[in-house]
Amino acid sequence: QGARAARGWPIELVQEAADIATAQLLQSVLPFALQEIEEHRAAGRKLVMATTTPADLIAPLAEALSFDDVVATRYGHSSGQYDGTIDGEFVWGKGKARAVRQWAQDHQVELDESYAYSDSYYDVPLLSIVANPRAVNPDPRMFAQATIRRWPVMHFDVPPGVPKFAGIEPQRLLLMLAQPQIFPWVRFGIDGLENLPTDGPAILVGNHRSYFDPLAISFLLARRGRPARFLGKKEVFDAPLVGDVVTALGGIRVDRGTGSDAPLRAAEDALAAGEMVALMPQGTIPRGPAFFNPELQGRWGAVRLAQATGAPIIPIGLWGTEQVWPRSSRFPDVTQVLRPPKVSITVGAPVELGTDDVDSETKRVMSAISALLPEESRSQRPPSQDDLARTYPGGVVPDDVEWASDHETVRRPGTD
């Protein structure tokens, strides 16, 4: 029907319209789709666009994306006009699979080493002939087929590994539920919300005082309506069930002490896609006397990310979270409904980096976080035995507190 409707159309005019439309279409290409394309290109694979859309309409987009070839429906023509016929295969359904198979044969490409991506149920025949089928943002029938056939399901508007349910990723759903009435055992105070970007990449950095810190930042994100990708230690990701949940929320696994750049690369990908990334530069909740040190010690990750991507660093000062969930407890204290502790969340202006020295710039970032904390955080006070106990897992204070404090400083030098 499309070919018949186009009968008499000037080919040159259609090609001009395609050129105009390409600029707008490029704006619609999802960020993680571009990253997937680049990964295949880097691996030396040919990039081929297979589509029912007429070749004259789709060719400019394929060229703009630097695809190697196009397998598309071709309209017959004569004297510079379409004649209402189709020249060759109608590239749809089984016809698309046949056309791709023929292209692969002509170009000596092995389909049993190839990938195919589609959202449409009508492309099941195409995905069935390759070794690596991928259902992308699938329609309901394609999703059912992918589930039955155990094909990976991908969504290019969220990071790899993040699922979607009814079109909503889990973190956005949780952010919608992050309302004060859900947390009657804590009072939140938020300042500086205007410093949290409404769009575009950003690196959120906060001080680490409690297991409750990520929840506090999530409460902040809910006020902005934006998700963030949290970097977290591998032990969380390795935990049964919890690890699956954190992965589904878009978390980035960090294996501390290995020196691996994989977490930073994953964070860079998220930032390149316009996402926000959140991390605690201290790397862990300080233990013992180090917890009460006014000078915050940080690792270099946030600065390295900013230098690599140009994304702004947004400091966040957290205070009072340890009253809700101290390190000594396995669970938050939800019994404080009558007198809930206050958790202060203060967002500062972006940190201006002045040099390429990651150590000095990390100190600048940590100072920016410290400046957002209340006055009491800036004075050193001798902690009581109970105070110390709350900073250790299980509330067990080591026999040699001073040695443990020195070890804490060495263990978190800010060198990775």
Q: Determine the Cα–Cα distance for residues 51 and 123; give it in Å rounded to an integer.
A: 10
- pLDDT of 402 reads 59
- pLDDT of 260 reads 76
How far CA 152 is from CA of 167, 249, 264, in Å, comes to 16, 18, 25
- Concatenating the DSSP letter of every residue in 52-114 gives EEEHHHHHHHHHHTT-SEEEEE-EEEETTEEEEEE-S---STHHHHHHHHHHHHHTT--GGG-
- pLDDT of 96 reads 98
- pLDDT of 389 reads 94
Burial 189-220 (b: 16+ CB within 10 A, else e): eeebeebbbeeebbbbbbbbbbbbbbbbbbbb
Q: Determine the Cα–Cα distance for residues 362 and 355; give it in Å rounded to an integer.
A: 11
Nearest to 209 by CA among 362, 301, 327: 327
Strand 75-78 relative to strand 81-86, pairing: antiparallel
Helices (H) and strands (E) in the chain, counts: 17, 14
Contacts of 371 (CB under 8 A, 6+ apart): 315, 317, 348
- pLDDT of 413 reads 46
- Sequence ranges of the domains in the chain: 2-154, 170-411
CA 144 to chain centre: 26
- pLDDT of 248 reads 85
β-bridge partners, 82: 77
Domain 170-411 is found in CATH 2.60.40: no
pLDDT in tens, the chain (416 residues): 789 999 999 999 999 999 999 999 999 999 999 999 999 999 999 999 999 999 999 999 999 999 999 999 999 999 999 999 999 999 999 999 999 999 999 999 999 999 999 999 999 999 999 999 999 999 999 999 999 999 999 999 999 889 888 888 999 988 888 888 889 999 999 999 999 999 999 999 999 999 999 999 999 999 999 999 999 888 888 877 777 888 888 999 888 766 678 899 999 999 999 999 999 999 999 999 999 999 999 999 999 999 999 999 999 999 999 999 999 999 999 999 999 999 999 999 999 998 999 999 999 999 999 999 999 998 888 899 999 999 999 998 887 665 555 555 554 444 44
- CATH code for the part of the protein at 2-154: 3.40.50.1000
Residue 363 is classified by DSSP as H
Q: Determine the Cα–Cα distance for residues 147 and 133; give it in Å rounded to an integer.
A: 12
CB atoms near residue 35 (< 10 Å): 16
